Structure 1
Amino acid sequence: MLRPACPTDAAAIADLVAMADPLSIGGLTGLDDPAAAMAAYRALVQGAAGIASHLHARVFEQDGRVIGVAVAYPGRLVTADDIPAEARVTDAADFYLDNVAVFPEHRGRGIARHLILATEAAATVDGFPAVSLIVDERNRGAFTVYDRLGYAVSGRAVVRGEVFHRMRKPLPAGAGR
C-alpha cells in the first residue's frame, strides 16, 4: 500500500535513506558519528519542518511494515544563489525527487516505480512543470529505471566529489495551482 509518511515511519525511512545514500544522513545532520547522525535524522523525519520531514515522503507499506520510500519536495527548498552551478541538483521551479529506496528483499516488484509515479502525480497536481533528480553515474540500474519512466539527462552535478547525472521529466501542463 502506497501512502503519505507519518512521524512513526521515521526509523524505517532513516534506514532506507541510509541504505541508499549513507553520506546524506551525516550531511543533513552535520554529525560525523553514525549512530548520533541516525538518531538526529530520525528526529528530523519525525518533525514537520525541513527537507527531511516525513511531510515530504511517501512510503510503500506491506504487512504493516514500511519497505520503500520516496522523498521529494519543491526544488526551491534546495536552491540558493551561493550553491555553485556544478553542485546544483535541481531548478527552483521543479519538484525534486531526492531519494527513492526499497529494501533489497523487496526489489524487482515495481515498488520503486510506484513511488516515482506517485511523486510525479503529486507534482502534477501541485502544478510543477517537471520532476528532476540526480543519479550516480555508476548506478546503471537506477539510471535505467528513470530512463524507462521518461526521464532524460539534463546535465551533471558534482556532489561531495561524486559525479551525478541530472535527470528531468516534464509533466503535463494545466493541472494544479
Structure 2
Amino acid sequence: MNFKSIVNSRGGRIAMVAVPVGIAAAVVMGGVAQGAVPVSFSISGQSFTMGGTELDGTSFSQYGGVAKLQDGKQVPVAIANIGTATIANLCQSVVTDTPLGKVGLVITAGDQAGNPVKAQNLQIGMTDLKGDAVFNNIRIGADAASVITDAKGSAGDFAQDSQGITLKNFSQVAYSTTAGTLALSDMHLKVVTDGSGCPGK
C-alpha cells in the first residue's frame, strides 16, 4: 500500500506520518493556509530523501502545514512527530548541482542486527512518504491540539495520531528533520560525483 504524508501546525511526510492516499489532500489543505513547520533554523528549500527497511516508533502524530523557505516561498508539507524511533538500514541523500556536475552526499547507518539508528522527539517536514505501514490504536480526525505527542498543532486542525507506528521498506522526500537525540550506529558518509543517492533515488 502506498501512503502520502502531510505536515504541521497553524502556529508553526522527518517527523513522520502516513495518511492513506484517499484522505491525503484533505489533511494537507486543512492546515496549509496558516501552518508552518515549527523548526528553529532556516530551511534551505532543497529537499532530500531518506528511507530504510524498517522504522518502529511510539507516540506518533501528523497534521498538515507548510514549510517556510529562506527565500520566502512556502511549500505544502506533512509534519510527522514520533516520540521514540528505531530505524534499520537508514539511508539519507541529497544531490546538488555544482560547477562539477551533480554532486551527492549520502549517509548510511544502522542495521537489523541489534544496532539500528535511534531517535527521540523526531519531527519531519515531508512532501511524500511510501511504504508499508501499521498503526497501533490510531485516531484519524483528531484535533491537532490534542494529539498524544509532545509537539502539537493548532486547535481545529485535522490530525491523526497513534500509540505506535511501524513502517517497512519506506522512502520519503522531506525538507527538514529535527530530533532531540539521534544516534547513528555504524555511520558512513560519502560524497558521490555520479549524481546518485540512496538506492532507487
TM-score normalised by length of structure 1:
0.30
Greater helix percent: which structure?
1
Higher relative contact order (CA 8 A, sep 6+): 2
TM-score normalised by length of structure 2:
0.28
